[in-house]
């Protein structure tokens, strides 16, 4: 057998492809592919699967071409964003851009880069960023911890024909009438359904605006004085207890964000607060989801905002933003990529793929023709405009986020529904909140 020397093999490899070690050594510079910048973007698995497909097949390859960088898209379950954020920040390495839910921006403010320049530019171009998005993404002093991406609006999806049958021609717009209609429907075995469980989306999405609409709030505008123990809150808890027995599906105490979708689609509840995913699913499979009369279910679904209370009408929607991480070595490239994503033509591709599931954070999009394409989706166009953030009347800061992630407001209602006297459950919430706000 002919002897082959180790050196000659190396030379051969270096000669055929410049990537070989000898080649690199010979030229004295790193190979081209190592110089290309890479941006790693971590976001949730979209509830509209078509969007993630569109990103992978269309938008990101385009971005790579336009920007001359490589884009790594990684998608994880929404509940797994926080562990990834924590791991990244503590170890100082991880994705360059990470999607934030609600006030993660405030929670991780020390570990992200200011993106105010981009936010201001996009705001100016698109008719201004909504107050809700500003409150969540900026610290009120001109720093943007996250670039507002979109709002996943929560609206009540309801069965038009079932409400008609009990004499409600439109969805009740006060809590009193909501309770009456729910009572009539529950008597027919078609209650309203809502979760009071430990789940990030639908539970606080219902309980916070409900509390606000009665005039209850966690703290004063100073963001320190806990004022939850008020007559307004106690009234709201008492009303919820009665409402739960009379008109709601009592299984809701254990629901996560998907249970109400399944319950609605299998026709065991007549209304529930949700993103548009119930309707979108029924559109996607018209043959599978039919009413008891054999009609396609999607023809019998309408959307409405949460009812008004004595203190007004509110909504708390999932606001998503993108944070550029401080530990990232590609901050400039990451900002460039975000800026590219927010070019109107590129952002439109995302917006249209969502079909109304996501409401942009700037005023310009409210009048987009997409909202006319399907009247059932029209109510979602104001989601970002009407939103309010936890921690009200204080700022949606880290303390507000702590209250939210401990499910204090949701548990206050859940405890009462399970039999604790209203005054006591409110007192419990007060003592928990005081611990947070006094620390």
Partner 1 sequence: MAVTAVSGVVNRPIPRLRRLEDERWLALSLLTPTAILLGLFIAYPFFEGVMLSMTSTRVGIDGQFVGLKNFHKIWNDSIFRTSVWNTFWYTGVTTVFKLALGLWLAMLLNRHFRGKALVRAFILLPFIIPTVLSTFAWKWMFDPTFSVINWTLFQLGIITQRINWLGDPDLAMTSIIIVNIWRGVPFFAISLLAGLQTISPELQEAAAIDGARPWQRFWHVTWPLLLPVTMVVVLFSVIQTFADFQLVYILTGGGPANATHLFATYAYQIGIGTGLLSEGAAISLAMFPFLFLIVVVQLLYIRRVETR
Interface with partner 1 (CB under 8 A), residue from 401, 422, 430, 433 = 401
CB of 83 to partner 1, least distance (A): 5
Is 405 a residue that touches partner 1 (CB under 8 A)? yes
What letters, b where the CB count within 10 A reaches 16 and e where it falls short, cover 367-386?
eeebbeeeebbebbbbbbbb
Interface with partner 1 (CB under 8 A), residue from 89, 240, 302, 318 = 89
Which residue in the block uniquely carries the two structure tokens 């679904």?
Answer: 301
CB of 115 to partner 1, least distance (A): 17
Q: Indicate the DSSP class of residue 111.
A: G
Site string for partner 1, 192-231 (x = CB under 8 A): ----xxxx--------------------------------
Burial of 256 (0-12, 13-18, 19+ CB in 10 A): middle
**Of the two residues 83 and 312, which places its CB atom closer to partner 1 in the complex?**
83
Listed ranges 12-20, 144-152, 220-228, 258-266: which one lies at the site for partner 1 (CB under 8 A): 258-266
CA-CA distance, 372 to 56, in Å (whole number)?
28
Is 281 a residue that touches partner 1 (CB under 8 A)? no
| Number of CB atoms found within 10 A of residue 181's CB | 22
CB of 71 to partner 1, least distance (A): 25
Interface with partner 1 (CB under 8 A), residue from 101, 255, 351, 365 = 255
Whole-angstrom CA distances from 197 to 190, 222, 411 are 21, 30, 8
CB of 408 to partner 1, least distance (A): 9
**Of the two residues 56 and 224, which places its CB atom closer to partner 1 in the complex?**
224
Q: Any idea what the Cα angle at residue 410 is, between residues 404 and 413, rounded to 5°?
A: 150
CB of 204 to partner 1, least distance (A): 13
- The token duo for 111 is 């570990």
Expressed in percent and rounded to 5, the helix, strand and coil fractions of the chain are: 50, 15, 35
Provide the phi-psi class of 407: left if phi over 0, else alpha when psi is between -120 and 50, else beta: left
Is 133 a residue that touches partner 1 (CB under 8 A)? no
**Of the two residues 26 and 254, which places its CB atom closer to partner 1 in the complex?**
254
Positions in 108-127 near partner 1 (CB under 8 A):
108, 110-111
Is 251 a residue that touches partner 1 (CB under 8 A)? yes
Task: With CA atoms as reference, report the closest residue to 162 among 146, 182, 180, 179.
Answer: 182
Positions in 155-184 near partner 1 (CB under 8 A):
none
CB of 1 to partner 1, least distance (A): 38
Where are the strands (E) in 50-197, listed by range? Answer: 70-76, 97-101, 147-152, 155-159
CA-CA distance, 133 to 150, in Å (whole number)?
9
Is 85 a residue that touches partner 1 (CB under 8 A)? yes
Name the residues that contact partner 1, by CB under 8 A.
Answer: 82-83, 85-86, 89-90, 107-108, 110-111, 196-199, 249-256, 259, 262-263, 266, 268, 326, 398, 401-402, 405-407, 411, 414-415, 418, 428, 431-432, 435, 439
């Amino acid at each position: 057998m002919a002897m082959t020397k180790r050196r000659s093999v190396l030379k051969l490899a270096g000669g055929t492809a410049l990537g070989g070690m000898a080649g690199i050594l010979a030229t004295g510079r790193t190979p081209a592919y190592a110089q290309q910048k890479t941006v790693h973007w971590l976001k949730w698995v979209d509830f509209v699967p078509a969007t993630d497909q569109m990103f992978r097949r269309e938008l990101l390859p385009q971005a790579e071409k336009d920007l001359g960088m490589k884009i790594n898209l990684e998608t994880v379950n929404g509940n797994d964003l926080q562990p990834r954020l924590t791991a990244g920040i503590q170890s100082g390495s991880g994705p360059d851009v990470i999607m934030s839910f609600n006030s993660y921006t405030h929670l991780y403010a020390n570990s992200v880069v200011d993106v105010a320049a981009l936010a201001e530019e996009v705001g100016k171009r698109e008719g201004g960023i909504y107050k809700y998005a500003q409150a969540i993404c900026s610290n009120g002093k001109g720093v943007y911890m996250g670039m507002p991406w979109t709002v996943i609006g929560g609206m009540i999806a309801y069965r038009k024909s079932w409400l008609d049958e009990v004499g409600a021609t439109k969805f009740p717009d006060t809590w009193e009438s909501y309770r009456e209609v729910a009572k009539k429907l529950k008597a027919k075995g078609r209650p309203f359904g809502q979760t009071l469980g430990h789940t990030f989306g639908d539970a606080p999405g219902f309980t916070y605006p409900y509390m606000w609409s009665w005039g209850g709030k966690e703290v004063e505008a100073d963001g320190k004085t806990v004022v939850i123990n008020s007559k307004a809150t106690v009234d709201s808890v008492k009303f919820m207890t009665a409402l739960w027995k009379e008109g709601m599906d009592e299984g809701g105490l254990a629901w996560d964000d998907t249970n109400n979708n399944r319950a609605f689609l299998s026709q065991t509840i007549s209304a529930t607060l949700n993103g548009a995913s119930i309707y979108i699913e029924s559109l996607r499979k018209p043959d599978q989801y039919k009413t008891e009369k054999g009609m396609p279910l999607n023809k019998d679904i309408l959307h409405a905002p949460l009812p008004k209370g004595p203190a007004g009408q509110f909504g708390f929607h999932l606001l998503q933003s993108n944070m550029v991480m401080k530990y990232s070595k590609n901050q400039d490239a990451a900002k460039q990529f975000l800026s590219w994503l927010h070019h109107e033509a590129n952002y439109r591709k995302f917006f249209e793929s969502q079909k109304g599931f996501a409401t942009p954070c700037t005023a310009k999009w409210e009048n987009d023709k997409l909202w006319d394409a399907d009247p059932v989706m029209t109510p979602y166009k104001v989601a970002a405009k009407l939103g309010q953030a936890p921690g009200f009347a204080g700022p949606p800061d880290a303390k507000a986020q702590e209250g939210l992630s401990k499910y204090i407001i949701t548990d206050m209602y859940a405890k009462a529904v399970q039999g604790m006297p209203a005054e006591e459950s409110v007192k419990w919430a007060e003592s928990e909140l005081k611990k947070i706000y006094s620390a």
